[in-house]
């Protein structure tokens, strides 16, 4: 599956859907982003059941600010509308596959219980 370009307008709807969405925040001038791009693209071919989206932080500055992106590349993962992972820096293909498998294996009912407990404690 090819990657999808997200905009400020399309991002919220995309990450709130059921399933797994991985988002790569990047910029064309960023060397590490150019290194991670092909790794991200290749993973999208191996994991057809996952949505792979990209956000060009130069073109989508409002979205990058809303997502509190401070360094790139930054990878964010969402599952069933819940933000569950964030990493800044380049990941290798095996590392990315491992993260995806861990996300697939999550018990989302337990994740929601943990979030509710943390919010109740605040």
- Residues with a catalytic annotation lie at 30, 33
Distance CA 95, CA 33 (A): 16
Distance CA 12, CA 66 (A): 11
What are the two backbone dihedrals, phi and then psi, of residue 30, each rounded to the nearest 5 degrees? Answer: -90, 115
**How much is the CA Rg of the chain, to the nearest whole Å?**
14
Structure tokens at 97: 């596959």
Measured between alpha carbons, how far is residue 39 from residues 42, 68, 108 in Å?
A: 5, 23, 27
């Amino acid at each position: 599956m090819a990657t999808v370009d997200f905009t400020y307008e399309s991002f919220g709807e995309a990450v709130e859907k059921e399933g797994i969405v991985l988002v790569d925040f990047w910029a064309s001038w960023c060397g590490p982003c150019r290194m991670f791009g092909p790794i991200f693209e290749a993973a999208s071919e191996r994991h057809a059941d996952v949505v792979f989206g990209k956000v060009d932080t130069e073109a989508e500055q409002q979205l990058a600010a809303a997502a509190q992106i401070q360094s790139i590349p930054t990878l964010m993962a969402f599952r069933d509308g819940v933000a569950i992972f964030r990493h800044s820096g380049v990941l290798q293909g095996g590392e990315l596959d491992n993260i995806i498998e861990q996300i697939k294996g999550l018990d989302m009912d337990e994740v929601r219980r943990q979030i509710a407990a943390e919010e109740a404690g605040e």
